[in-house]
Amino acid sequence: MSSNEAAPSPGAHTAGAARPGGPAAARVTSRDVARAAGVSQAAVSLVLGGKWRGRVSPGKAEAVRAAARELGYRPNLAARSLRMGRTRTVLLVVPALTTEFFARVYTGAARVAAEHGFGVVLYPSPEGIGPARDPFDSAAATLDGVIASSMAAEALTALRDADLPLVMLDSDPADDRAGATVNLDIAHGVRQLTGHLTALGHRRITHLAADVRSWTFEVRARAVAESLQGVPGALLRRQPAALGVDAGLHAAHAALTGPGPRPTALLCDDDIIAAGACKAVRRLGLRIPEDVSVTGFDDLALAVAVEPELTTVRLPAEEFGEAGMRALMTVLDGRPANAPTLPVELVTRGSTAPPQDAPGHATRPGGQ
Amino acid sequence: MSSNEAAPSPGAHTAGAARPGGPAAARVTSRDVARAAGVSQAAVSLVLGGKWRGRVSPGKAEAVRAAARELGYRPNLAARSLRMGRTRTVLLVVPALTTEFFARVYTGAARVAAEHGFGVVLYPSPEGIGPARDPFDSAAATLDGVIASSMAAEALTALRDADLPLVMLDSDPADDRAGATVNLDIAHGVRQLTGHLTALGHRRITHLAADVRSWTFEVRARAVAESLQGVPGALLRRQPAALGVDAGLHAAHAALTGPGPRPTALLCDDDIIAAGACKAVRRLGLRIPEDVSVTGFDDLALAVAVEPELTTVRLPAEEFGEAGMRALMTVLDGRPANAPTLPVELVTRGSTAPPQDAPGHATRPGGQ
DNA sequence: GACCGGACGTGTTACGTATAACCTTCGGCG
DNA sequence: CGCCGAAGGTTATACGTAACACGTCCGGTC
């Protein structure tokens, strides 16, 4: 990593000066550098590759580096990949990039990858790519490793032939396909959340549960149930919800108008569902948080855009991507993979408050 | 969104059946296919490359295809790139991926690229990558072309050496660096928007203008000014706003509490600023849309998550990315580039209504 | 004085593909 | 009949890099 921290910016300057009027058509190769430095191409490869300890004299090594800088030499990645059998490219499999959460995961992962000289290509789920060719058709041939979210696990079936190093994000640690698994401490976040709600006095809580088969949502459902187990008088119900604002709205409507006593809190599986739930609450003439408290998950930008701002569990999305990429890099180095679990944090905002349980004044038609 | 009903399963099935128990260590090359089909490696290349019209008999061609399928042959992209001098990889330069708009642009661009057998790598702006190495250092060596948003124009300076085919998104058509420019009909969208507001009776309008130097925001500012030029009694003011919910809140607060008559409409440069503006309006004890109308831009998911839902100008983000990539593909084919301008659409929702101080028209509390 | 091993390099090769150049067969035509 | 061009292939080569195998010098050692 510290081997080549040669300054790039002055290099660009001299490169511009070094090519006065010549057409950029002819790419400069390691052989050109060799010629300029008066050494063989092999020496250039050794020097620039950093492994010249006792093979090239310091003087010539410096000459090589100078010539490379002067000519603006960039190694041809295709040739290198062909020779080495490695592409320094990894695949990130996410359910959809248009969700802010995974866009941030990508950002973190790409940053760490860049530090290691790796690139990241995306497989943003079948619905993102649509009916086009399966990226694995060509991609699998030129990948060094894969990071995959548990929410896109089904896409991984296409990869089961190629036994690439694999790091799973937020998935069952018992999954043996993965070389390592990086998790978020979802269960703890849920416990904080339910603790917050019960401390406020909430007992009738409906979990607006994402109807996506995924490890992370299974954990959330289990943690919600378990953490309310010991609370006297707690009445937990479960309302499935698809992902999206509209789906959250419909699910919340069903939850609030269904049989039995009305819940005083809606615990939503993500902020987007929660935003939809807020709309449903208000359309029924109820107030947030006085009549119904609503909580989200993820702490997206959305969480502070809606009103009132959402109490939610902040997931460290970028750090998540960073940790996943770091784990993959250690696996690629042949070292044993660490599999950290990242902490999450409850963020308390205006969408939660003690319930106004007075049984008499349920509906206030006018409202604002 | 229904999850993926697409079926990559049959292809995966045959692939799984073709490799019974062998270790996947040894990659299958075109020579292996040649051996299996009883032809030379060159014939395999011809057949699989599709240019065997009068060079290989149909029978042998079919045998080659069968053998390739049977063995699960995947061409080595590194070798192909080295031989051809092209990488079938293009770069998409965007200001930040965590914004939904550009995530959708990427999705569309990646889809079209995949149809052409191209991959897309991202350069999500310096602030996304952070202080890590400049991706162009290595990337520029292996790119066939570039698509760049005008919002990330400064990042392009790093590319000025490499004279790669370049398609600009939503930027000044006079910019000569670009081989083609794909635009959105922003000006028309703005005219629809101002027409909508003035038809409702609004005259005192403040433009919450993104303080980002970018072609698209310059066009918006100009179009707002020009389209209100001929409206009698129109009073346009301009309030700079950084990007983000908080920035929108502050800018709107300044606009509403500043000197002079209070504006009855806030025309925001994007939905996120508009969401912040909504919060500012309510914090001042004013109502949307009765006291102040608010409009956004882009039609992100956010636009229907806030309440009231935002009147906004829908930008066809994915189509935008698709059109950009299509233009780049034609440039790469050596054909003259078409440079379309995509239509945009005004979406009228609950955040706009006639101003209450307009004579005659009164308040309609219900909403729809 | 023969031998050894480390420092300092260079020649050569292979990675897998696409394609130019070449070679053979064969039917048709002057 | 002799020759030509097309069909149907094959052989050979180059792309740019990394690294193995091989030299050569030279100071020290027995």
Q: Are A259 and A238 contacting, i.e. CB atoms less than 8 angstroms apart?
A: no
Residue pair A288/A257 in contact (Cβ under 8 Å)? The answer is no
- Is B351 within 8 Å of B278 (Cβ atoms)? yes
Rounded (10°) CA dihedral B18, B21, B22, B27: 40
**CB distance A130 to B111 below 8 Å:** yes
Instruction: Return d(Cα B180, Cα B325) in angstroms, integer.
Output: 11
Task: Say if strands A180-184 and A312-314 run parallel, antiparallel, or are unpaired.
Answer: unpaired
State the residue for tokens 């006065």. Answer: A20
Residue in the block written with tokens 């038809």: B199
Q: Which nucleotide, over all strands, has the C1' atom closest to the CA of A54?
A: C7
Report DSSP letters for B192-255, one per residue. Answer: HHHHHHHHHT--EEEEEEE----HHHHHHHHHHHHHHHTSTT-EEEEEEE-SSHHHHHHHHHHH
> How far, rounded to the nearest angstrom, does the alpha carbon of residue A313 sit from its chain's CA centroid?
16
Q: Are A170 and A182 within 8 A, CB to CB?
A: yes
Higher pLDDT, residue A5 or B122:
B122
Identify the band that residue A319 occupies on the pLDDT scale cut at 50, 70 and 90: very high
Separation between Cα atoms, residue B323 and residue A238, nearest integer Å: 44
Show the tokens assigned to B287: 């109502």
pTM: 0.85
- A269 or A170, which is more confident: A269
Contact A43, A56 (CB under 8 A): yes
Chain B CB within 8 Å of residue A6 CB: no
Q: Residue with structure tokens 């609030």?
A: A256
Which residues touch A200 (CB under 8 Å, ≥6 apart)? A293, A352, A353, A354, A355
Q: At residue A82, does pLDDT exceed 90? A: yes
pLDDT tens track for B113-158: 888 888 888 876 544 444 334 545 555 557 889 898 877 666 666 6
**Tally of CB atoms within 10 A around B222:** 13
Q: What is the largest CA-CA distance in chain B?
A: 88
- Chain B contacts in chain A segment 132-161 (CB below 8 A): 132-135, 137-142, 154-155, 157-158, 160-161
Work out if A81's Cβ lies within 7 angstroms of strand D: no
Q: Which segments within chain A are labelled E, that is strand?
A: 89-93, 119-123, 145-149, 166-169, 180-184, 204-210, 235-241, 265-268, 293-295, 312-314, 341-342, 345-347
Q: What is the pLDDT of residue B121?
A: 84
pLDDT digits (tens, 9 = 90+) for B331-354: 998 888 878 999 999 999 999 999
Query: What pLDDT was estimated at residue B345?
Result: 97
Question: Taking a C-beta distance cutoff of 8 angstroms, is the pair A208, A256 a contact?
Answer: no
What mean pLDDT do residues A7-21 have? 34
Amino acid at B97: L
The predicted structure's pLDDT at residue B158:
64
Nucleotide with minimal C1' distance from the CA of B56 is: D8
Q: How far apart are alpha carbons B234 and A359 in whole angstroms?
A: 52
CB within 8 Å: A125 and B4 = yes
**pLDDT recorded at residue B364:** 44
Is there a contact between B338 and B251 (Cβ–Cβ < 8 Å)?
no
DSSP A189-244: HHHHHHHHHHHHT--EEEEEEE-S--HHHHHHHHHHHHHTTTSTT-EEEEEEE-SS
Which one of B2, B73, B77 makes the best mutation probe of the A interface by having the most chain A beta carbons within 10 Å?
Answer: B77
Residue that the structure tokens 């270790």 belong to: B23
> Which residues on chain A are in Cβ contact (under 8 Å) with B8?
126, 134, 157-158
**Candidate from B74, B129, B307 with C-beta closest to A111:** B129
What's the angle, vertex CA B19, arms to CA B22 and CA B42, rounded to 5?
A: 100
pLDDT in tens, B284-319: 999 999 999 999 999 999 999 998 999 999 999 999
Give the separation between CA A197 and CA A203, rounded to whole angstroms.
Answer: 8
Res A179: pLDDT: 81
Between CA A68 and C1' D25 the distance (Å) reads 28
Stretch 160-189 of chain B: residues touching chain A, C-beta under 8 Å: 161-163
pLDDT at B302: 93
Q: Which residue's CA shows the smallest distance to C1' of D20?
A: A42
